[in-house]
Amino acid sequence: MLFFVSLSLAVVLGIFFPYSALSLMPYGFVFFFVLMLASGLSAQGKRLAGMAEQLPVLAFGLFLCFVFLPLLQLTLARLIISDSYYLTGIYFGALAPVAIVAPFFTKAVGGDEELAHLLMVSSSILFPFVAVAMLLLVPMPNIQLDLQPLAKGMLVLVVLPVILSVILGFLVPGLRARLERILPLLNSVCLAALVFILFGSAAGRLNLSYASGSDLVKLLCLGFFQDFGVLLLGAFLAPRFFPRKTALALAVSLSMKNTAIAATLLLFYSPAAAIPATLIFIPHAILFGTIPRMSRYLG
């Protein structure tokens, strides 16, 4: 409920106070860095040590995260969207790593929290390399994305804080235990601040009122598919191949993408393409509020 309330409030405030959000835009990177730093603290040594045991399902989850689901989302988008910038934003957002809150929600529905942590950490570390490769393999027509600054941004904002936090966890073994009670609050506050900045900045800089109403509805529908569609699809198919806890971890983790990094980077390097990655915070807020009550329907 904390994530749902804070995220919903951030979206609403961003819409009504876009210029306040714009003034805070330089601090968006700080909030995101702190978010990723805090997320890595959950990657305890025993979890990383269990990676070898989970390697087959982890590799399968990463394939779904970075290849199958982004291409599926792009294929669906091409059926209803023609704007090249929107298609780029949808594709780049779908290539995002697993969100930092995915392990928390995986635990809430009775899934394998350890696997969710491994998916979050490994997808975050691989994100710059795999995302650039996929953008090169499936380039967007009529759009010239400068991949070099995008790759640097991904390394600095995603890979660096995760690696630093994992190292910190090894050097100070009891750190996570001491911070465990406040980590959800810290994540919620930082995520809400970041969403307020991103949503408000997008509204202020891009003036969403000029965007086609039908396109915005289509983008929201694609956003709901990326969240709820993937969750329900995973919950339906994964239990046929994996134990229930593993299946839940895959379904929840793959439905929760870290689109904040996609929106942050695109807002600087391709603002028009940032609209889809920003609008998805609306289905995110609804998903965060409903998923803890959906455990009886999943798996």
Q: Note the pLDDT tens digit of each residue in 172-200.
A: 766 666 666 666 677 777 777 777 777 77
CB 96 within 8 A of CB 257: yes
Q: What are phi and psi of 243, to 5 degrees?
A: -60, 160
Domain assignment present for residue 205? The answer is: yes
**What residues make up the domain containing 178?**
2-291
Residue 111 within a domain: yes
User: Quick check: is 26 in a domain?
Assistant: yes
Q: Give a yes or no: residue 299 inside a domain.
A: no
- Closest CA relative to residue 298, chosen from 248, 228, 241, 253: 248
Report the Cα–Cα distance between both ends of the chain, in Å, rounded: 22
Is residue 297 one of the residues assigned to a domain? no
Taking only the tens place, the pLDDT of each residue in 271-289 is: 778 788 888 878 877 777 7
Number of independent structural domains in the chain: 1
Q: In this predicted model, what pLDDT tens digit does every residue of 108-156 receive, in sequence order?
A: 888 888 888 888 888 888 888 898 888 888 877 666 667 777 778 788 8
* Torsional class of 212: left (φ above 0), alpha (ψ -120 to 50), beta (otherwise): beta
In a domain, 298, yes or no: no
Look up the pTM and report it: 0.80
Cα–Cα distance, 227 to 237 (Å, whole number): 16
Question: Residue 51's Cα: distance from chain center in Å?
Answer: 22
How far from 204 is each of 12, 139, 208, 210, CA to CA, in Å? 13, 28, 8, 12
Instruction: Compute how many other C-beta atoms are within 10 angstroms of the C-beta atom of residue 58.
Output: 19
Residue 88 in domain? yes
- CATH of residue 55's domain is 1.20.1530.20
Res 69: pLDDT: 92
For residue 118, tell me if it sits in a domain: yes
